[in-house]
Structure 1
């Protein structure tokens, strides 16, 4: 319970610092949410500023916004006046979660078997070929991979739609674009960890007792070899979240990343802050779950903590 309360306090302080820093950076950026209304009469501009508290001192704006957040109200959107930030995030979060979750599952489903297979064939041509492909997957950024996938599978081959949302076929290319670098990194990480595990003393002793290689792999080597992969899940998820902004823009997906980019470009302060807070809370929760999973897989970590 003491450790849980400590983690909760750390999470709250982290989210407060994140929100405060983002608030100050947005206000320090040039321009404002209603710059296009400069041609409007002064009384209209004053009414807009009063409606969104932009006529108040910065400290008062921050205090009012923080009070609303503590009550669960992320405020109205400046650029989508018919919606609150809570409504926009409620619409976008399931979309981004579906894309990101499928991309991470695909990365694990392909990366772990490829890494294990490469480790079992270490030094052979198949191992070198797989690691070369993994290096290429890491080298190609998402903003290059996504348009290339559209060009190949949508424009040239006409196999899949180039964008949009609503059909399962719309998920294929975005999920692949998000998963590609994670597949590559997962395969490389699994290979290195498996090679290290296979050379451990306790596995040599098990071999001397006559255990089969299959039993050694699945009963004794796989679980400890996957510990670094489990630890990598946190940065992998952050990578998926940050990469979704580019992928959702390319494929026209109404997710969190797209709202974040549009909100930043339009100086929609409340929308950007809302997305940052929700994503930050998700990352903190995921880190806690990953730590718990690592502790279950290796009790020594819990004892050290």
Structure 2
């Protein structure tokens, strides 16, 4: 197990270095500088700002200095928000995004698995048909389109929810629905197909022949084996929800890290863009790492060393 964890950790470090390098050099490849858009800013003031942020130095010097700062957890100072550290801004806004993301992830897993189980248990019946139609719609409609539609009809027309804001429990409903619709659809389809396959497996027939209770067979054998594809999908699902929240937060006026990210892009705040991108990358890598470990624990046939039992 230790060897498995160490290898995964090393892979994460390499991936993180690639992400930091790619983000840094892509920012440098953009023509101009972040201060060009400032009105009534003389070339002399721009030069001072460039010197203050170290942008007047050679690119390789900036790169290695940035790597050194990242190691110590210093993402630099925002180029647009006066005297505010990027780390502080991320810390203040991420808790809002974390609450939204966790609720969306929990809703996606619970609703998706239940919907897939119902579709599998009532295979080729009305419930199965309705569930799969909903799944197809969930996959086909982008989250930002769904967010705009439910905001228009449920909030503006029917006035059941607030159009914007994130203050009370009811304000979670619309953004969580927009964020979790696609993951629910994927999980439902994965659970359905996997459960149908497991229900027709020989060991399930053997368990029934031995006289085991249906509920025992369902939860001890069927659900445990059918849920493996869902566990594999949790990593990418987390990525979709985290990156999808960038647009959703903007639509619903939620003051989370996604909203700050969009604003930093439009204002060309280089340090903020790089800081949030790296922060997102670390979160996604951790989610993938946890998924790999969980998969090894759930499936007894898989060893954490990376191989399979014979």
Q: TM-score higher than 0.5 here?
A: yes
Equivalent-residue separation in structure 1 for 2:38 and 2:134 (angstroms)? 51
Range with bigger deviation, 39-48 or 125-134 = 39-48
Equivalent-residue separation in structure 2 for 1:2 and 1:218 (angstroms)? 32
Instruction: Say if 1:142 and 1:177, in contact at 8 Å, map to a contact too.
Output: yes
Indicate the residue corresponding to 1:264 in structure 2. Answer: 265
Indicate the residue corresponding to 2:107 in structure 1. Answer: 106
**Deviation of 1:32 (Å):** 2.4
Instruction: Say if 1:174 and 1:251, in contact at 8 Å, map to a contact too.
Output: yes
Indicate the residue corresponding to 2:118 in structure 1. Answer: 117
Instruction: Say if 1:115 and 1:187, in contact at 8 Å, map to a contact too.
Output: yes
Q: Say whether 1:62 aligns with 2:73.
A: no
Indicate the residue corresponding to 1:216 in structure 2. Answer: 217
Indicate the residue corresponding to 2:192 in structure 1. Answer: 191
Range with bigger deviation, 40-49 or 10-19 = 40-49
Equivalent-residue separation in structure 2 for 1:258 and 1:174 (angstroms)? 13
Indicate the residue corresponding to 2:96 in structure 1. Answer: 95
TM-score normalised by structure 1 residue count: 0.96
Task: Note the 1:27-46 alignment, pairs <5 A.
Answer: 27-37=28-38, 39-46=40-47
Range with bigger deviation, 232-241 or 165-174 = 165-174
Equivalent-residue separation in structure 1 for 2:266 and 2:38 (angstroms)? 16
Equivalent-residue separation in structure 2 for 1:295 and 1:173 (angstroms)? 35
Secondary structure of the corresponding residue to residue 153 of structure 1: helix
Per-residue Cα deviation, 1:177-202 (whole angstroms, up to 9, x for no partner): 10111111111110011111111110
**Deviation of 1:223 (Å):** 0.6
Secondary structure of the corresponding residue to residue 302 of structure 2: helix
Task: Note the 1:111-150 alignment, pairs <5 A.
Answer: 111-150=112-151
**Deviation of 1:93 (Å):** 1.2
Structure 2 stretches of 5 or more lacking a match? Answer: none
Instruction: Say if 1:203 and 1:220, in contact at 8 Å, map to a contact too.
Output: yes
Q: Say whether 1:155 aligns with 2:156.
A: yes
Structure 1 stretches of 5 or more lacking a match? Answer: none
Instruction: Say if 1:38 and 1:45, in contact at 8 Å, map to a contact too.
Output: no
Equivalent-residue separation in structure 2 for 1:79 and 1:168 (angstroms)? 33
Indicate the residue corresponding to 1:11 in structure 2. Answer: 12
Indicate the residue corresponding to 1:81 in structure 2. Answer: 82
Equivalent-residue separation in structure 1 for 2:217 and 2:301 (angstroms)? 21
TM-score normalised by structure 2 residue count: 0.95
**Deviation of 1:304 (Å):** 4.7
Per-residue Cα deviation, 1:158-186 (whole angstroms, up to 9, x for no partner): 11111123322222211111011111111
**Deviation of 1:214 (Å):** 2.3
**Deviation of 1:38 (Å):** 6.0
Secondary structure of the corresponding residue to residue 35 of structure 1: coil
Indicate the residue corresponding to 2:244 in structure 1. Answer: 243
Equivalent-residue separation in structure 2 for 1:21 and 1:134 (angstroms)? 36
The structure 1 segments of at least 4 consecutive aligned residues displaced by more than 3 Å after TM superposition are none
**Deviation of 1:217 (Å):** 0.9
Per-residue Cα deviation, 1:28-67 (whole angstroms, up to 9, x for no partner): 1234211123632332111111111111111111111111
Equivalent-residue separation in structure 2 for 1:132 and 1:238 (angstroms)? 25
Paired residue total: 305
Equivalent-residue separation in structure 1 for 2:167 and 2:64 (angstroms)? 40
Secondary structure of the corresponding residue to residue 73 of structure 2: coil
Equivalent-residue separation in structure 1 for 2:160 and 2:252 (angstroms)? 15
Indicate the residue corresponding to 2:297 in structure 1. Answer: 296
